Amino acid sequence: MIFNIQRFSTHDGEGIRTIIFFKGCPLSCLWCCNPESQSFGPVLMYNPGLCRKFGDCLKTRNKGITASPDGIQIDRNLIQNPDEFRDLCASKALIVSGEDLSTEQILHEIEKDQPFYSSSGGGVTLSGGEPLSQGAELDVLLTELKRKKIDVAIETSLHIGWERIASVARLTGTFLVDLKHTEKEKFNSFTGGDADLVLENLKMLAKCHDRIIVRVPVIPGFNHTVSEMRSIIDFTKTLYKLSEIHFLPYHTLGTEKYRMLGMDYKMKGNKKVGVEELSGYVDYAHSLGLIAKTGG
């Protein structure tokens, strides 16, 4: 299931890229800017600013939706199938994020931009969510992309069993690996996951794949200190043949989505990080001989 296709991106890999965003993630990072990606199924998003109160959603008689003077109220516990609301709201105040596309349909979308890949050295980037959490269809898609000689980058947290990573490694041009923290407790309290799993997977991947870029989301209150960032950079430096690290500054662009999903944004009050705040991290990485930059 995917929740977005972004065309003509010049981030997240070389050249001009089409980014396919898959739904479903084993982590739940508190700063996640795509919270609609975390669940594996479709989710309902409501933007009261667009609501024209025509009431098409109320006509479904779903008990989870009730009228209020400010628009509608949603009790998500009472909505078992968000698909009931797909394409129902003419003003797009109520939308369903998440669509099942076949491998052929995804390939068709990717191939629309093929001339731009050839001219720019680009390709497709699989993102999410966690693309490696997808099932066998992902392997079919990767095999087809390889056959068609379309470059593939996978953006991943590597928070998954090693067998899954090994199974896609030979079909993947570049791994863009999110390395969030090196400390087990801190990693777990902010993402719900296991840092050791990520670190061990990254060590093994570095031994068998020659195009990996480590990407570090720089998050105030989580890892934006000299000691924590040096620990991440030092770890990167130990990795076999791996030489490139990017620092991605925290931003608040996804916060509105939490309100639309009825979710609590737990990093309220955090200010966005300016790229100038990252120069010390870049300099330190350079001093160790790594290629380093800010941004994707």
Hey, which residues does 246 pair with through a beta bridge?
215, 293
The residue within the footprint of ligand SF4, chosen from 2, 19, 20, 25 (CB under 6 A), is 25
Give min distance, CB of 279 to ligand SF4, in A.
Answer: 24
Is 219 a binder of ligand SF4 (CB under 6 A)?
no
Contacts with ligand SF4 by CB under 6 A: the residue count is 13
Q: Which of residues 43-72 bind ligand SF4 (CB under 6 A)?
A: none
Looking at beta carbons only, is 57 or 214 nearer to ligand SF4? 214
CA pair distance 235, 99, nearest whole angstrom: 38
Q: Which of residues 89-118 bind ligand SF4 (CB under 6 A)?
A: none
CB 223 within 8 A of CB 232: yes
CB-count exposure of residue 134 (10 Å: 0-12, 13-18, 19+): buried
Residues with Cβ within 8 Å of 227's Cβ and at least 6 positions away in sequence, in order, are none
Interface pattern 116-135 for ligand SF4 (x via CB under 6 A): ------------xxx-----
Residue 16: how many CA atoms within 13 Å on its side-chain side? Answer: 13
CB-count exposure of residue 111 (10 Å: 0-12, 13-18, 19+): middle
Looking at beta carbons only, is 29 or 107 nearer to ligand SF4? 29
Region of 27-35, 91-99, 223-231, 245-253 interacting with ligand SF4 (CB under 6 A):
27-35
φ and ψ at residue 74, rounded to 5 degrees: -120, 125
Give min distance, CB of 26 to ligand SF4, in A.
Answer: 7
Region of 29-37, 181-189, 195-203, 253-261 interacting with ligand SF4 (CB under 6 A):
29-37
Among 3, 101, 102, residue whose Cα is nearest residue 44: 3
The residue within the footprint of ligand SF4, chosen from 19, 32, 110, 273 (CB under 6 A), is 32
CA pair distance 292, 167, nearest whole angstrom: 29
Q: Which of residues 163-202 bind ligand SF4 (CB under 6 A)?
A: 191
Length of the chain: 296
Is 249 a binder of ligand SF4 (CB under 6 A)?
no
Is 27 a binder of ligand SF4 (CB under 6 A)?
yes
CB 50 within 8 A of CB 78: no
Residues making contact with ligand SF4 (CB under 6 A): 25, 27-29, 32, 34, 37-38, 128-130, 157, 191
